[in-house]
Amino acid sequence: MHRDSPLSPHYQPSVTSEYRVKDMIERSISRARYISSIISSTSYSDNDNDGYSGGGGGVYTSIASSSSSSSSSSSAPSPAPLNINSKMLPSNGDYITQLEIGTPPVKVVTLVDTGSDLVWVQCKPCDQCYNQDDPIFDPSKSSTFKGSVSCKDDICLAIRTSECINNQCNYMYEYADGSLTSGNLSRDTFTFSSGSDDKQQGNTSSSIPGIVFGCSHNSNDTDFTYSTLNLGDNALVNDPGFITISMGRRALTYYTVKLKSIAVGKDTIPNDPFDTNILVDLGTAISFIPDIMLSKLIDDLSKMVNLTRTNDPHNYLPLCYSHSVKDPPYPFPDITFTFYKRPHDTDGESIVLTPMQAFFHVSDTVLCLAMHGKKLVGISVLGNIAQLNMHVGYDLHNNVLSMATVNCSKF
């Protein structure tokens, strides 16, 4: 669910739509800059000279997307179910889903973010917590709570902000929007409910024991059509017309593919072969592409679109048109992104962005291209507006990303 959707428990009806859009764009810029700073200070092996490289920093991994097993764990968790899904709902920029933690299960509402590495919830005792509608998770009332993770556990060592206190693994995270959380790494059972409306299948659920998560005892927060988040075998993308491309990892948390070209109409805009990495991120709304490509794309669109150019009222986006939300949809040309199928060959795989995936209303009367230049933030990003109505699968075993154009409301 989008954070600004009226269905969201964080929805604030008094906030105007223009303010929501402005806030979303500022979050996207701030977040992309933050990720860029993390990547540029983290060592890794890659031949692209595209601004991602850097030295000095430690490498860390994604708790949310990697195995929670450890050589020093006292007991290994049971094998996870092969098919897991959870209802996810949309808004202007972020997605949230519901899951349950502990036994008996306690419902929590969580932000879904493919570009973050720590899963965390507010826990009792809460020294400083922001207000939430759902009860704060109380570990003492969960019969499956495994307590704090040891400082010697591999997962503790993977957290770049971990600190050992009384042999308990503690963490502190501060996000680009100013929110922060600190607490201790713990283990408990997570339950995912499909929320299915199918009367034959019913509302199915899957429980996984021993999931590592952050039990936050200090935190603050900034302002906070259905789809499905699939995990396990259900995450396989095999829809008609799907593509598969090699996927890289940056700082192990961030997933990248290699952008070969962008085409609009009959014009193909090639990318600099030394600037190909583009982050695929659900937590950033707008996309950021190399500035030379953006400039040529804007020139091409300006020649094809018969609307009046205007300025972004928020002074962020470079291509905007006067177009009311009450007007019929304008027939913008499709924009095709082509990615290298494999890192070191010339074969490409393409996805087509429809006008809905490339443009959005920043106000009731202004429609803008949902893209900006990479120079503003330091990295290229394929944001979540471009991923609307797209089935995206992350195969972490084979380092492959799959994408297909679909109607997400039918999932």
Per residue in 201-247, pLDDT tens?
556 788 999 999 999 988 865 433 756 788 888 788 999 999 999 99
Mean of pLDDT values over 132-146: 90
pLDDT tens, residue by residue, 37-84: 888 765 333 334 333 222 222 211 222 333 233 333 333 444 555 667
Query: 34 or 411: whose pLDDT is higher?
Result: 34
Query: 267 or 24: whose pLDDT is higher?
Result: 267
The pLDDT, as a whole number, for residue 132 is 76
Pair (98, 205) in one structural domain: yes
The pLDDT, as a whole number, for residue 45 is 34
Q: Which domain holds residue 124?
A: 83-231
Which residues pair with residue 336 across a beta bridge? 263, 352
Whether 9 maps to a domain, the answer reads no
Whether the per-residue pLDDT at 144 is higher than 90: the answer is yes
The pLDDT, as a whole number, for residue 139 is 95
For residue 131, count CB atoms less than 10 angstroms from its CB and return exposed for 0-12, middle for 13-18, buried for 19 or more: exposed
- 10-24, 289-303, 311-325: segment of lowest average pLDDT: 10-24
The pLDDT, as a whole number, for residue 409 is 65
- The pLDDT confidence band at residue 373, using thresholds 50, 70 and 90, is very high
User: Do the beta carbons of residue 228 and residue 389 sit within 8 Å?
Assistant: no
Whether 60 maps to a domain, the answer reads no
- The pLDDT confidence band at residue 175, using thresholds 50, 70 and 90, is low
pTM higher than 0.75: no
Q: Please give the structure tokens belonging to residue 109.
A: 């509402």
Mean of pLDDT values over 278-286: 91
Whether 335 maps to a domain, the answer reads yes
Whether 121 maps to a domain, the answer reads yes
Pair (392, 251) in one structural domain: yes
Q: Count CB-CB contacts under 10 A for residue 398.
A: 9
Query: Which of 204, 231, 258 is the C-terminal boundary of a domain?
Result: 231
Omega cis (within 30) before 333: no
The pLDDT, as a whole number, for residue 87 is 67
Q: d(Cα 303, Cα 264) in Å, to the nearest integer?
A: 11
Pair (219, 246) in one structural domain: no
Pair (315, 288) in one structural domain: yes
Pair (241, 389) in one structural domain: yes
* Residue listed under structure tokens 């972004």: 312
Query: Which of 199, 231, 263 is the C-terminal boundary of a domain?
Result: 231
Residue 404 has phi, psi (to 5 degrees) of -150, 145
Query: 19 or 312: whose pLDDT is higher?
Result: 312
Pair (180, 142) in one structural domain: yes
Domain containing residue 171: CATH number = 2.40.70.10
Whether the per-residue pLDDT at 375 is higher than 70: the answer is yes
The pLDDT, as a whole number, for residue 327 is 86
Q: Count CB-CB contacts under 10 A for residue 264.
A: 22
Pair (255, 345) in one structural domain: yes
Q: d(Cα 268, Cα 186) in Å, to the nearest integer?
A: 50
Pair (206, 305) in one structural domain: no
Angle 170-171-176 (CA atoms, 0-180°, nearest 5)? 170
Mean of pLDDT values over 343-371: 92
pLDDT tens, residue by residue, 88-122: 655 445 778 888 999 999 988 887 777 777 888 89
Q: Please give the structure tokens belonging to residue 215.
A: 């039990």
Whether 63 maps to a domain, the answer reads no
The pLDDT, as a whole number, for residue 46 is 38
The pLDDT, as a whole number, for residue 195 is 59
The pLDDT, as a whole number, for residue 85 is 73
Whether the per-residue pLDDT at 258 is higher than 80: the answer is yes
Pair (402, 366) in one structural domain: yes
Q: d(Cα 350, Cα 354) in Å, to the nearest integer?
A: 13
Q: d(Cα 338, Cα 285) in Å, to the nearest integer?
A: 20
Pair (280, 196) in one structural domain: no
Pair (216, 255) in one structural domain: no
Look at residues 251, 279, 256 and name the one whose alpha carbon lies nearest to residue 374: 279
The pLDDT, as a whole number, for residue 400 is 94
Share of the chain above pLDDT 90, in %: 43
In whole angstroms, how far apart are CA 378 and each of 257, 278, 289? 16, 11, 10
Average pLDDT of every residue of the chain: 80
Whether 67 maps to a domain, the answer reads no
Mean of pLDDT values over 159-178: 78
Pair (307, 260) in one structural domain: yes
Whether 1 maps to a domain, the answer reads no
The pLDDT, as a whole number, for residue 23 is 85
Query: Which of 200, 231, 262 is the C-terminal boundary of a domain?
Result: 231
Whether 280 maps to a domain, the answer reads yes
Which residues pair with residue 7 across a beta bridge? none
Whether the per-residue pLDDT at 13 is higher than 60: the answer is yes
Q: How many domains does the chain have?
A: 2
Whether the per-residue pLDDT at 274 is higher than 80: the answer is yes
User: Do the beta carbons of residue 402 and residue 243 sit within 8 Å?
Assistant: yes
